[in-house]
Structure 1
């Protein structure tokens, strides 16, 4: 599995969820409901290899439909199981944060 935008390639055991792969490899992926398909915080975007993931089931589809944000190729990390090469990423990780190419917008204050 390749994690974008870092282009980090990690090994996944066949049948592991994307969330499990992320946890094993210390890739930050939110999951407020503990991976129980009760929220959509672990949503990922599938860049390539949608066919290498388990078929989407009704509970997951309902969670994604409730978002109504127009993001295509989305899956829930807690539900999508990996069965081959796939490329995924979080829709909430800005490219600048992932690459370290960002600057603060605050101001300097004297320390007393």
Structure 2
């Protein structure tokens, strides 16, 4: 079973985490199922950028982003070449290392 290594995030996952994930699971679902409360303002419908992540290792194992995701990523804070929307990035059979950016484009969060 593949693992997702989540790098430390000051608010959402201060110590980082290692998650065991079933192939075919979105990274967003894996994070939420493991109590890492990543924002997902559009309820995982690929209509915002609040679940933006940067894949530090294993990016090439993810399927290609479609045009809608690519267009949305252009609006994400801290965009990098290995950025993805976690609601659209589906885990394959390989391990991943992901980083949740410090900020999103939301000016306010429902959690705070």
TM-score, scaled relative to structure 2: 0.75
Equivalent residue in structure 1 for 2:6, among 3, 7, 17: 3
Equivalent residue in structure 2 for 1:51, among 60, 68, 85: 60
Give the Cα separation in 2 of the matches to 1:10 and 1:21: 8
Deviation by residue 1:17-45 (Cα, 9 ceiling, x = unmatched) = 00110111111210000000100000001
2:108 corresponds to: none
Runs of 4+ in structure 1 off by over 2 angstroms are 66-72
Higher Rg: 1
Structure 1 unaligned runs (5+)?
A: 94-112
| Alignment RMSD (CA, Å) | 1.7
Residue 63 of structure 1 deviates from its aligned partner by 0.3
Q: Which has the higher helix share?
A: 1
Give the Cα separation in 2 of the matches to 1:22 and 1:59: 22
Residue 16 of structure 1 deviates from its aligned partner by 0.5
Structure 2 unaligned runs (5+)?
A: 9-14, 104-112
Number of aligned residue pairs: 93
TM-score, scaled relative to structure 1: 0.75
